[in-house]
Amino acid sequence: MELKKKLVDHLVFLVSCGYVLPVVAYIGHCMETHSLDHSHIRHFVAEVLSIVQHPYSIEFSSAMEPLVHNPEITAPLINPNRTDPVSTFIGMHDVTLIRCRLSIVLLVVINELAL
């Protein structure tokens, strides 16, 4: 158990060094295959959300979404007044998706007007 926690700490370090998407994808894979305990994934999510700041890229936001929307992982991290990093991420993730969708709509409208 302690060895896996050290592995997660090293993965968080890799995120801090810029290897964000491959590491988050790996943790997502571990969640899907149940090869890593939820407590370790929870530790990863908490640590990563403590070092990242918004605005989040759509790629990062999409990669983290399955992790933060899994109540078995994040429920213990959410406080009642929703001022925790998970709630902040979810709120900013929604904003990121809205901005992305608006950008796509704008591009479609501009393309239509150009024709």
Total structural domains within the chain: 1
Whose tokens are 């991420």? That residue is: 89
Distances (CA, A) of 84 to 46, 87, 89: 10, 6, 9
- In sequence order, the 6+-apart residues with CB closer than 8 A to the CB of 109 are none
pLDDT for residue 100: 66
pLDDT for residue 47: 95
Provide the domain limits for residue 96: 2-114
pLDDT for residue 79: 84
Distance (Å, whole) CA 78 – CA 85: 8
Distances (CA, A) of 8 to 15, 24, 32, 45, 62: 11, 11, 16, 10, 20
Give residue-wise pLDDT tens across range 75-99: 888 888 878 888 888 777 666 666 6
**Structure-block tokens of residue 41:** 């994934």
- Please compute the mean of the pLDDT values over residues 35-41 and round it to a whole number: 93
